[in-house]
Amino acid sequence: MPHCIIEYAAPLEEIVAISELVDEVFSATANTGLFDTTSIKVRALPLTHFKTGAEQQLYVNTTVKLLPGRTLQQKENLGKSVLQSKQVLLEGKALLSVEVVDISESYFK
């Protein structure tokens, strides 16, 4: 844990290397010091059908799913770190957002 799920507008693949985005999100998550790096999972999912406002805009949304137990401050720091990592690659190229959520205690693997 955590699971970092990057959803992005597929046309971004022509602008930025998605593998770099995955690496940046992984590093940002690891650098918080909240997780053992062997437990961090990052995946990127391209979306070809999307609508973002009246004018079609490219976007990258990252959802970080955590087991309960982190403080609000830890979640805020994590979210800001992930957002900042995406800004390095994508500033001005896409709408950026991050959501940090606790998953149910009924998560099993």
Every domain of the chain and the residues it spans: 3-102
DSSP secondary structure string, 46-77? EESS---SSS---EEEEEEEE-S---HHHHHH
**pLDDT: is 105 or 70 the higher one?**
70
Q: What is the predicted pLDDT for the residue at 8?
A: 97
Residue 105 has pLDDT above 90, yes or no: no
Instruction: Say if residue 108's pLDDT is above 80.
Output: no
> In whole angstroms, what is the distance from residue 65 CA to residue 75 CA?
10
Q: What is the pLDDT of residues 40-98, one digit of tens each?
A: 999 999 999 998 887 889 999 999 999 988 999 999 999 999 999 999 899 889 999 99
Residue showing tokens 């690659």: 89
* Residue partners of 69: CB distance under 8 A and separation at least 6: none
CATH classification for the domain delimited by 3-102, as one of 3.20.20.30, 3.30.429.10, 3.40.50.150, 3.40.1110.10: 3.30.429.10
Q: Residues 6-25: what's their mean pLDDT?
A: 96
Q: Which residue has the higher pLDDT, 19 or 51?
A: 19
